[in-house]
C-alpha cells in the first residue's frame, strides 16, 4: 500500500517487523549454525574412526532434536518475535537442506577416502529430504502461527 500501512496478507507473510528479510536471514543463519557444527563434528569423528561418538550422542539425541523437535520451537520463536509465514517456511526447509547437503558431502568425502561408494541405507536421499522438508515446514508453520497468535493475544489483552 502506498499510504504506509500494511495489509493483513503482508503482515501474515512477512510479519510486522521493520526489516523482514534481515529477520529471516538471522533466524535461518542461527538455525543452520548448529547443523553445520554437528555434522562437522560427526564427519571429524568418522574420519578419526570414532563410531562410538555417533552411536552414543548423535543418533539417539542430537539428530532427532535438531531435525524433528526444533522446527516447531524455532517457528514459535519466529512468530513471537515478529516473523511471518514465509520465514516459518524457510525455517522448516532448513533441516532438509542441511541434512541432504551434509550427507552428500559426507558420502563424497568417504568415497574419495576409500575409493568405493558408501553403502546406502534403505531409503534414497531424495525421499528422506522430502520427508524432512514436509515435516519441518508443517511443524515450523504451526509453531509460527501459534507464536503469531500469542503475539496478537499479548497486544490485545
Over residues 3-14, mean pLDDT: 69
Q: Is 98 exposed, middle or buried (0-12, 13-18, 19+ CB in 10 A)?
A: buried
Over residues 32-54, mean pLDDT: 78
- What pLDDT is stored for residue 76 in this prediction? 93
- What pLDDT is stored for residue 157 in this prediction? 65
- What pLDDT is stored for residue 155 in this prediction? 72
CA distance 27 to 13: 15
Q: Cα torsion for 15, 19, 24, 29, to the nearest 10°? A: -150
- For the range 20-23, what are the long-range contacts, defined as Cβ-Cβ under 8 Å and sequence gap of 24 or more? 20/83, 20/84, 20/86, 20/87, 23/78, 23/81, 23/82, 23/83, 23/87
User: Would you place residue 1 in the very low, low, confident or very high pLDDT band (cuts 50, 70, 90)?
Assistant: very low
Most confident of 33-37, 85-89, 119-123: 85-89
Lowest-pLDDT range of 88-92, 100-104, 140-144: 100-104
**Does 101 have pLDDT greater than 80?**
yes
Q: Express as a percent the part of the chain with pLDDT over 70.
A: 93
User: Would you place residue 138 in the very low, low, confident or very high pLDDT band (cuts 50, 70, 90)?
Assistant: very high
Over residues 92-96, mean pLDDT: 90
Chain mean pLDDT for the chain: 81
Amino acid at each position: 500500500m502506498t499510504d504506509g500501512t500494511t495489509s493483513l496478507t503482508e503482515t501474515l507473510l512477512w510479519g510486522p517487523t521493520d526489516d523482514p528479510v534481515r529477520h529471516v536471514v538471522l533466524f535461518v543463519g542461527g538455525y543452520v549454525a548448529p547443523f553445520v557444527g554437528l555434522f562437522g563434528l560427526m564427519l571429524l569423528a568418522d574420519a578419526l574412526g570414532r563410531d562410538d561418538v555417533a552411536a552414543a550422542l548423535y543418533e539417539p539425541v542430537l539428530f532427532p532434536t535438531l531435525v524433528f523437535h526444533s522446527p516447531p520451537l524455532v517457528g514459535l520463536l519466529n512468530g513471537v518475535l515478529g516473523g511471518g509465514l514465509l520465514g516459518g517456511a524457510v525455517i522448516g526447509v532448513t533441516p532438509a537442506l542441511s541434512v541432504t547437503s551434509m550427507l552428500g558431502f559426507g558420502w563424497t568425502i568417504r568415497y574419495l577416502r576409500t575409493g568405493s561408494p558408501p553403502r546406502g541405507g534403505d531409503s534414497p536421499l531424495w525421499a528422506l529430504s522430502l520427508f524432512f522438508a514436509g515435516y519441518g515446514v508443517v511443524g515450523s508453520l504451526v509453531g509460527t502461527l501459534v507464536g503469531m497468535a500469542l503475539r496478537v493475544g499479548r497486544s490485545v489483552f
